[in-house]
Amino acid sequence: MMAEPVELPSRLAILPFRNKVLLPGAIVRIRCTSPSSVKLVEQELWQREERGLIGVLPVRDSEAAAVGTLLSQGVGGDPGYGGSKSPTTSSGEQQKQDSKNHQEPIHWHNRGVAARALHLSRGVEKPSGRVTYIVVLEGLCRFSVQDLSARGTYHVARISRLDMTKAEMEQAEQDPDIIALSRQFKATAMELISVLEQKQKTVGRTKVLLETVPVHRLADIFVASFEISFEEQLSMLDSVDLKVRLSKATELVDRHLQSILVAEKITQKVEGQLSKSQKEYLLRQQMRAIKEELGDNDDDEDDVAALERKMQSAGMPPNIWKHAQRELRRLRKMQPQQPGYSSSRVYLELLADLPWQKVSEERELDLRAAKESLDSDHYGLTKVKQRIIEYLAVRKLKPDARGPVLCFVGPPGVGKTSLASSIASALGRKFIRISLGGVKDEADIRGHRRTYIGSMPGRLIDGLKRVGVCNPVMLLDEIDKTGSDVRGDPASALLEVLDPEQNKSFNDHYLNVPFDLSKVIFVATANRVQPIPPPLLDRMEVIELPGYTPEEKLKISTKHLIPRVLDQHGLSTEFLKIPEGMVKLIIQRYTREAGVRNLERNLAALARAAAVRVAEQERFSPAIQLSKGIQPMAASTTALLDTRLAGAGNGSSPSNGEVEMEVIPMDVSGQEISNFDGGSPIVVDETMLEKVLGPPRYDDNEAAERVATPGVSVGLVWTNFGGEVQFVEATTMVGKGELHLTGQLGDVIKESAQIALTWVRARASELEISSTSDKSLLESRDIHIHFPAGAVPKDGPSAGVTLVTSLVSLFSKKKVRADTAMTGEMTLRGLVLPVGGIKDKVLAAHRYGIKRVILPERNLKDLAEVPSNILSGLEILLVKRIEDVLEHAFEGGCPLRKRSKL
Ligand code: ADP
């Protein structure tokens, strides 16, 4: 293992070792790539039969020389060598630098170490064919350079040995100074080893070294294993004198030992202080370093950089950019595991994503084209479209004029949303819908402050982020559905949004910096006007869309809905035909709505069913073609099958197998086969309607059936879905004279019921409903009134007349007319007061096939809004007093009137 002192030749080939020192006893691995060192290795080591020796001589870069000559004690050999312009030589490791410093003078150290190669390997680099060597060298003993001369491309030095021979050595070991120094060195070395041993178990062998290797070599070996500066290495090399060398080595070993102990102490201390997350952070830092080393750069650091780039290109106003940078700096200082990190990040992402300046190019507004597109998208609605065109015209003349905010009011499915999106496309702007339905919390509009956990921006800012431009058409959907409660008033936030003076700097609590909403065009929708807070309503121009008549719905279906639905399902009229008669049936029996949303849904259901069949048909189409060719849709499917099978019978090639498969559709029922009949489309008929849509949900006889027993009357009410026909059922049973109400009811309706009952009771004798045996009817009986049909909350006083009618019907045991519906509020004394939503209620009556409508007289003016074609089909009965209502509601007049003197 350890080399015995060797015989040195007088000349050695010299391998320069740049800024490094090979000490005796040390082993290094060097890759030689420069032409001179390759040549040297080849000639001195590779091609030699017996193992040759070479000299390893430290050289220093000129810069290093400038700093460090001081320490190179003993330098002072032939000055000629110091500045020799020798050919470039280098150890492989420094090869790159070498070629750079080609012209730099080389500073040779004048002492080196003779080395022998323990291992040699030769490689040929692939494309260039360049030869390289990897050499493992073991340092043997010091020498000094007498003179240096070039031999070919490398250098050869005349040398003299510096280390002691064996004999000199043995003599020196008797020297008491050396003995003391050796002891001291060994003790320090021993200490170092035991410290190292605690850390890792593999140093056991080093202890053995300590016992067996002569101390002067040990000194070199120990020092060689430390990472110390070039200068210190050089001074170790220059420590030819054994005493000097031992004390130097002792000093270095001790220093190393101390640094380990200190480091240990620090780690222990630090470890104690590190929390888990900090430890993770350290590990992550290390991982990052490792990744960087490996060239994997996909981590947070770059993430943050990418975020910053995104923020830079977001076009933030300067003051906001400053704010964002502050936040970004904060983020940079945080660890990803820290609580605030992700929230801070999400916030910055929002800042980067918001369209501070990005606009969709507003194109020159062409009113004609806008009108055409409105017309092509929407049937009817002439007035509404006219108003929209006016609105657009104003914008065209004064692009930054702040017209009122348009607010479309009407039941669902009447085209409010699609009109708003038409406005957007007419203006060439992007469209974004923000749903305000059920928004009770101001924070929904304005966002939560970021101090809240899980805080978010409000819906407006979120919408803007999604739409990505700052000038969209923004639809505030269901603005009437915002309520206010303890959590603030969303309406007041909306006020700010819609106020052109204030919305230049809209303040979202989450965003915490103002955002300019002034480029947004707002359009609102509502089901009803009443719930909209007046100040908000004040900012808006209401455009009512009352709902469609069945005739209009039919037109909308044929012109818009059916083509669109077919298109959405990849069908055309070639595949599916929905005849008008069927559309009418859907309108009558399957939908009873003011708008066309359910109609569209039902049409879509038909299209889906057809699409499935068409898809199947395509799968089987070769067979269908064949069957058509062979014989026109014969009843004798079996005959057809026979022919086909006969044709397929003469072999079992794969194609025949296919043919057999194709036969399968022939097995289905005759009716279905007609649908598979090549080109002819599926035509929707009543059977298909029932199959796809189920049994009819409504029928025209509903009213007649419902009022078949006394106690039921037909009312008209207003719900969020427009007008509705509402049956009121009253019944009575033995009890204590209490009133029970069921159904989805508001408080007002309960009061209406009380008033109705009081009125009826007060008139009981006049109405002669408490005569004879029925006398007890009102005293010892409970009355139960039920408002069936749907979970639609019903409120409003307009059921007053209906309630009375049903009670009168109950007590008089007379049925009300099935063709008559009514609405109206009633006072305690029997006056009928006007109510709202007349147009919708009349439309609803019309939808239900009601022929007569009883309305408060003072609602006459509202009839002007009802389309005349609908009015013409209805008998409108205007009433002042409840007695008039009863007169109209029963066949042959008020059942009790003749007897009483009402
Ligand atoms: P709303 O917003 O009023 O609830 P939508 O705008 O969502 O209703 O309309 C529902 C569907 O009915 C949409 O597909 C719309 O295109 C269609 N629609 C409504 N009214 C018309 C109309 N007059 N002409 C054509 N399609 C209409």
- Rounded to the nearest angstrom, the distance between the alpha carbon of 379 and the centre of ligand 1 is 9
Residues 503, 445 contacting (CB under 8 angstroms): no
* The residue to which tokens 């915002």 are assigned: 482
How far is 692 from 603, CA to CA, in rounded Å? 10
Q: Is 413 annotated as a binding residue?
A: yes
| Amino acid 795: pLDDT | 56
Label residue 661 by pLDDT band (50, 70, 90): very low
Q: Which atom of ligand 1 is nearest to the CA of 560?
A: 25
Instruction: Please indicate, yes or no, whether the overall pTM of this predicted structure exceeds 0.75.
Output: no
**CA-wise closest residue to 491 among 552, 444, 529, 449:** 444
CA of 435 to the centre of ligand 1 (A): 17
The pLDDT, as a whole number, for residue 417 is 93
C-alpha to C-alpha distance for 437 and 798, rounded to whole angstroms: 25
pLDDT at 548: 85
- The best mutation among 433, 525, 597, 602 to test binding of ligand 1, ranked by most ligand atoms within 8 Å of the C-beta, falls on 597
Q: Which amino acid is at 633?
A: M
Contact in structure between 389 and 367 (CB atoms under 8 Å): yes
Q: Does ligand 1 lie within 6 Å of residue 39's CB atom?
A: no
| pLDDT at residue number 301 | 55
Q: pLDDT confidence of 523, banded at 50, 70, 90? A: very high
Residue 336's pLDDT is 75
Task: Tell me if 886 sits within 8 A of 805, measured CB to CB.
Answer: yes
Is 146:126 a contact under the CB 8 Å cutoff? no
Establish whether 410 is an annotated binding residue: yes
- Nearest of 421, 341, 343 to residue 388 by alpha carbon: 421
Nearest CA owner, ligand 1 atom 26: 378
597 within ligand 1 shell (Cβ under 6 A): yes
Q: Is the pLDDT score of 902 beyond 70? A: no
The vertex-813 CA angle with 810 and 818, nearest 5°, equals 80
Atom 25 of ligand 1: nearest residue by CA position: 378
pLDDT for the residue 645: 37
Is there a contact between 439 and 490 (Cβ–Cβ < 8 Å)?
yes
The closest-lying atom of ligand 1 relative to the alpha carbon of residue 414 is 3
Does residue 459 have a pLDDT over 70?
A: yes
Determine if ligand 1 sits within 6 Å of the CB of residue 457: no
Q: Cβ(418) to ligand 1 under 6 A?
A: yes
- Nearest C-alpha to atom 22 of ligand 1 is from which residue? 378
Q: In this model, does residue 112 exceed pLDDT 90?
A: yes
Other CB atoms within 10 A of residue 194 CB: 12
Residue type, 350: L
Q: Is the CB of 381 under 6 A from ligand 1?
A: yes
The confidence score (pLDDT) of residue 865 equals 80
Q: What tokens appear for 354 in the block? A: 């918001």
Contact 594, 722 (CB under 8 A): yes
Whether 414 lines ligand 1, by a CB cut-off of 6 Å, is yes
The ligand 1 atom at the shortest distance from the C-alpha of residue 545 is: 3
Cα 556 to middle of ligand 1, angstroms: 9
- Is the CB of residue 412 below 6 angstroms from any atom belonging to ligand 1? yes
Instruction: Please state whether beta strands 825-826 and 781-786 pair in parallel, antiparallel, or not at all (unpaired).
Output: unpaired
Cα distance between residue 900 and residue 902, in whole Å: 6
Q: What is the mean pLDDT of residues 88-109?
A: 51
Residue 461's pLDDT is 92
Cα distance between residue 191 and residue 205, in whole Å: 15
Shortest-distance Cα residue to atom 19 of ligand 1 = 415
Ligand 1 pocket test, candidate residues 375, 596, 840, most atoms within 8 A of CB: 596
Q: Which one is predicted more confidently, 619 or 714?
A: 714
**Residues annotated as part of the active site:** 798, 841
| CA distance linking residue 853 with residue 874, whole number of Å | 7
Residue 76, marked binder: no
HSE toward the beta carbon, residue 693, CA cutoff 13 A: 29
Could you list the beta-strand ranges (E) of 595-636: none
Work out the average pLDDT over 155-180: 84
670: tokens are 């005759």
> Six-digit token pair at 598?
């359910």
Q: Which ligand 1 atom sits nearest the alpha carbon of residue 564? A: 14
Whether 453 shows a pLDDT value over 80: the answer reads no
Give all strands (DSSP E) within 720-874, no chain letters. Answer: 722-734, 739-742, 781-786, 820-822, 825-826, 832-833, 852-856
State the pLDDT at residue 454. 77
The single-letter DSSP state of residue 91 is -
Q: Which residues lie below 8 Å from residue 609, measured CB to CB, with a gap of 6+? A: 688, 691, 692
Q: What is the pLDDT of residues 554-574, one digit of tens each?
A: 999 999 999 999 888 888 888
| CA nearest to 278, candidates 330, 337, 333 | 337
State whether the beta carbon of 556 lies less than 6 angstroms from ligand 1.
yes
CA distances from residue 541 to 370, 429, 636, 826 in whole angstroms, order as listed: 20, 21, 68, 32
For the ranges 80-89, 526-535, 695-704, 798-807, which has the lowest average pLDDT? 80-89
From the CA of 492, how far away is ligand 1's center (Å)?
30
The residue contributing the CA closest to ligand 1 atom 15 is: 415
Q: What's the gap in Å between 406 CA and the centre of ligand 1?
A: 17
What number of residues does the chain have? 902
Report whether residue 722 contacts ligand 1, using a CB cutoff of 6 Å.
Answer: no
Residue 414 is labelled as binding a ligand: yes
Instruction: Report which ligand 1 atom has the smallest distance to the Cα of 377.
Output: 25
658 has pLDDT over 60: no
Report in angstroms the alpha-carbon separations of 424 from 400, 429, 459. 16, 5, 19
pLDDT above 70 as % of the chain: 78
Neighbour-count burial for 488-514, b at 16+ CB within 10 Å, e otherwise: bbbbbbbbbbbeeeebeebbbbbbbbe
Q: How far does the centroid of ligand 1 lie from the alpha carbon of residue 412, in Å? A: 8
| 3-class DSSP assignment, residue 276 | helix
Q: Is the Cβ–Cβ distance between 473 and 365 less than 8 Å?
A: no
- Tell whether 24 is in a known binding site: no
Share of the chain above pLDDT 90, in %: 13
Q: Is 411 in the pocket of ligand 1 (CB under 6 A)?
A: no
Distance CA 722, CA 728 (A): 18
Residue nearest to atom 6 of ligand 1 (CA): 415
Bridge-based pairing of strands 832-833 and 825-826 is: antiparallel
The strand pairing partners of 716, in sequence order, are 725
Give distance in angstroms: CA of 578 to centre of ligand 1: 20
Q: Which atom of ligand 1 is nearest to the CA of 419?
A: 6
Residue 417 CA to ligand 1 centre (angstroms): 7
pLDDT digit string (tens) for 280-323?
Answer: 677 777 776 776 666 655 555 567 888 888 888 888 888 889 99
**How much is the pLDDT for 526?**
92
* 603 Cβ closer than 6 Å to some ligand 1 atom: no
Around 374, how many Cα atoms within 13 Å sit in the side-chain half-sphere? Answer: 25
| Cβ of 596 less than 6 Å from ligand 1 | yes
Strands (E), 314-451: 405-409, 431-435
Residue 642's pLDDT is what?
37
Helix (H, G, I), strand (E, B) or coil at 149: strand
Q: Is 440 helix (H, G, I), strand (E, B) or coil?
A: coil
List the helix and strand counts (H, then E) for the chain. Answer: 36, 25
Question: CA 402 to CA 501: how far, in whole Å?
Answer: 10
Query: Would you say the CB of residue 600 lies under 6 angstroms from ligand 1?
Result: yes
Among 159, 173, 157, residue whose Cα is nearest residue 217: 173
Residue 746 has pLDDT above 80, yes or no: no
Q: Enter the tokens of residue 240.
A: 């030819």
pLDDT band (50, 70, 90) for residue 269: low
Q: Is 417 annotated as a binding residue?
A: yes
* 883 pLDDT more than 50: yes
Q: Does the annotation list 272 as a binding residue?
A: no
Render pLDDT for 386-432 as a digit per residue (tens, 0 to 9): 999 988 888 888 776 667 889 999 888 999 999 999 888 888 889 99
Section 101-107 average pLDDT: 58
Count CB atoms within 10 A of the CB of residue 486: 7
Angle, helices 339-353/318-333, rounded to nearest 10 degrees: 150
pLDDT in tens, 213-266: 888 888 888 888 887 888 888 999 998 888 889 999 999 888 888 888 887 777
Angle between helices 382-397 and 416-427 (to 10 degrees): 30
- Residue 378 Cβ < 6 Å to ligand 1: yes
Q: Please tell me if the CB atom of residue 385 comes closer than 6 angstroms to any atom of ligand 1.
A: no
Q: Which string of DSSP letters, residue by residue, matches 267-303?
A: HHHHHHH--HHHHHHHHHHHHHHHHHHHT---SHHHH
Can you give the pLDDT at residue 292? 65
How close is the Cα of 596 to the center of ligand 1, in Å?
A: 7
Task: Compute the half-sphere exposure of residue 244: CA atoms within 13 Å on the CB side of its CA.
Answer: 8
Q: Which of 131 and 679 is assigned the larger pLDDT? A: 131
For ligand 1, the distance from its centroid to the CA atom of residue 622, given in whole angstroms, is 41
C-beta 413 within 6 A of ligand 1: yes
pLDDT tens digits for range 795-823: 566 788 998 999 888 888 888 888 899 99
The burial class, CB within 10 Å (0-12 / 13-18 / 19+), for 140 is buried
Average pLDDT of every residue of the chain: 78
Contacts 24+ apart (CB under 8 A), 48-52: 51/116, 51/117, 52/116, 52/117
C-alpha 637/C-alpha 845 separation (Å) is 52
Ligand 1 centroid from CA 876, angstroms:
30
Sequence-distant (6+) residues with CB within 8 A of 327 are 344, 347, 348, 351
Which atom belonging to ligand 1 lies closest to the Cα atom of 420? Answer: 6
If one residue of 418, 433, 481, 545 were mutated to test the ligand 1 pocket, choosing by the most ligand atoms within 8 A of its CB, it would be 418
For the CA of 561, the closest atom of ligand 1 is 26
Residue nearest to atom 10 of ligand 1 (CA): 413
* pLDDT at residue 472, rounded to an integer: 92
Distance between Cα 653 and ligand 1 center (Å):
56
Exposed/middle/buried for residue 148 (C-beta within 10 Å: 0-12, 13-18, 19+)? buried
Question: What average pLDDT does the segment 59-66 reach?
Answer: 62
Is residue 417 within 6 Å of ligand 1 at its C-beta? yes
Starting from the edge strand earliest in sequence, which strands make up the sheet with 722-734, in order?
739-742, 781-786, 722-734, 712-719, 820-822, 852-856, 875-879
Q: Classify each residue of 799-838 as buried b or exposed e, where b means 16 or more C-beta atoms within 10 Å of its C-beta.
A: bbbbbbbbbbbbbbebbbbbbbbbbbbbeeebebbbbbbb
pLDDT above 90: residue 495: no
**416 in a known ligand binding site:** yes
- Rounded Cα distance, 558 and 564, in Å: 10
Q: What does the H/E/C string look like for 651-691?
A: CCCHHHHHHHHHCHHHHCCHHHHHHCCCCCCEECCHHHHHH
Instruction: Quote the CA–CA distance of 820 and 850 in Å, as a whole number.
Output: 6
Instruction: Determine the pLDDT at residue 462.
Output: 92
Helix/strand/coil for 30: strand
Look at the block and give the residue holding tokens 């507003």.
362
